[in-house]
A and B are shown apart, each in its own frame.
Chain A
Amino acid sequence: MALDNGIYIPHLCGLRESERPAASCRLCFVEVEGLPNPVTACTLPVSEGMIVHTRTPRVDRLVRTGFELLLSNHRLRCGKCEKNENCELQKIARERGLKLRLSRLRPLTTEVPVDESPKTFKYDPGRCVLCGMCVWVCHHQTKVGAIGFIRRGISRKVAAFGDVPLGESRCTECGECVRVCPVGALTFKEKFWGV
């Protein structure tokens, strides 16, 4: 990614350590001269003499729609969110001049309960953007493999085997997934801040 050279491209799902990008957030679109359509920057390796445009009307449109789709099932109560001011969604909105509210889409948020069962952190599926970074670190970095994606489509979510609360699963509460979460879906409980 071109992030090293001080050029920001919105992204949620990219992890440097992962060799194969998940390409699930659909926010890092760029246009490359010579390619007919915008491509996701995370899946395109840099090559010699490549000319990349990070802001074109087509790119902006794709990112705007992708961003609004993500917001449409995101519980938008930033004032009450632990990640307020430290949230990737807010950062992208600021950078691209996007609003943190829906203009064209209907909200799809359902009141899902917050999983408070782990001792050190809590999991709010209503704020999850399904970027998959927590799943990746759980499987490849910590080698615990407690969480994964279950079901599909609108009911897709991150959960443990049998969709049991995380506190009853194989989760070791190492907290790596919480550290990597770009939004407020996985947050440490207050007294464990900074542990």
Chain B
Amino acid sequence: MELQGGEAEMIYAEVEGVLQRHGLEREKLIPILQDVQSKLGYLPKEAMQQISEALRIPEVDVYSVGTFYNQFRLNPPGKHQIKVCMGTACHMMGGHIILESFERRLGIKEGETTPDREFSLERVACVGCCALAPVVVVDEKVEAKVSPIRVDGILLAFEIESKKSGEIEKLVEEEGRTQ
């Protein structure tokens, strides 16, 4: 994942703060990773390298722990978070087909984020409304009985929305200029 302007410095400062709070023993690795994730929302590569240097352990060991536990994510959360349910009922109703449609449409794999950071795609285990299977949770909204066509619809809605907000911004700008 490419870092955006100023992000590298921000990551460095946050990780430095977390490291100072915890001390530099290797037993602290998991609490350190948890704190870094709660500050940054994910574990950037740069942060893991910085931690490995500070704790004097190979960087692959930090990566090993970061990829072992489900609580850690290695990609930044997108502006819109898409969670595809993979519970028993949704699986039976074709949840994996829905996940695949999202993967194809967004050009990313499950657990990843689009390069423009608009969407992140995740799989979750049961959202608790199995009668509506297959279910997708987009941000906080539950989408019921999703089909591959509905996947296109969901993404189209976001596209239109972002276009609209862009137009409104343009209008506001123009108004500001005429006044």
Binding site for B on A (CB under 8 A): 139, 145-152, 159-163, 170
Q: Are B67 and A151 interface neighbours, CB within 8 A?
A: yes
B45's partner among A146, A147, A162 (CB-CB below 8 A) is A162
- B60 CB contacts on chain A under 8 angstroms: 145-148, 150, 159-161
CB distance from B157 to the nearest CB of A (A): 33
Number of interchain pairs (Cβ within 8 Å): 39
**Please, what's the 1-or-0 string for B82-97, where 1 marks a CB less than 8 Å from any CB in chain A?**
0000000000000000
Q: How many angstroms from the CA of A151 to the CA of B74 in the assembled complex?
A: 12
Secondary structure class of chain B's binding surface, majority of residues: helix
Q: Are A149 and B64 interface neighbours, CB within 8 A?
A: yes
Instruction: State whether the Cβ of B58 lies closer than 8 Å to any Cβ in chain A.
Output: yes
Q: How many angstroms from the CA of A62 to the CA of B58 in the assembled complex?
A: 35
Q: Are A151 and B68 interface neighbours, CB within 8 A?
A: yes
Interface residue tally on B, bucketed by range? 10 to 19
Binding site for A on B (CB under 8 A): 45, 48-49, 57-64, 67-68
Q: How many angstroms from the CA of A162 to the CA of B62 in the assembled complex?
A: 10
- A149 CB contacts on chain B under 8 angstroms: 64, 68
Q: Are B61 and A145 interface neighbours, CB within 8 A?
A: yes
- B57 CB contacts on chain A under 8 angstroms: 145
When A139-B58, A161-B59 are in contact, do A148 and B64 touch as well, CB less than 8 Å?
yes
Q: How many angstroms from the CA of A176 to the CA of B65 in the assembled complex?
A: 24
- A147 CB contacts on chain B under 8 angstroms: 60
Q: Are B63 and A162 interface neighbours, CB within 8 A?
A: yes
- Tell me which of B60, B62, B64 has the highest count of chain A C-beta atoms within 10 A of its own C-beta: B60
- B61 CB contacts on chain A under 8 angstroms: 145, 148
- A170 CB contacts on chain B under 8 angstroms: 59
Can you list 7 residue pairs at the A/B interface with Cβ under 8 Å? A145-B60, A145-B61, A150-B64, A152-B67, A160-B60, A161-B49, A161-B58
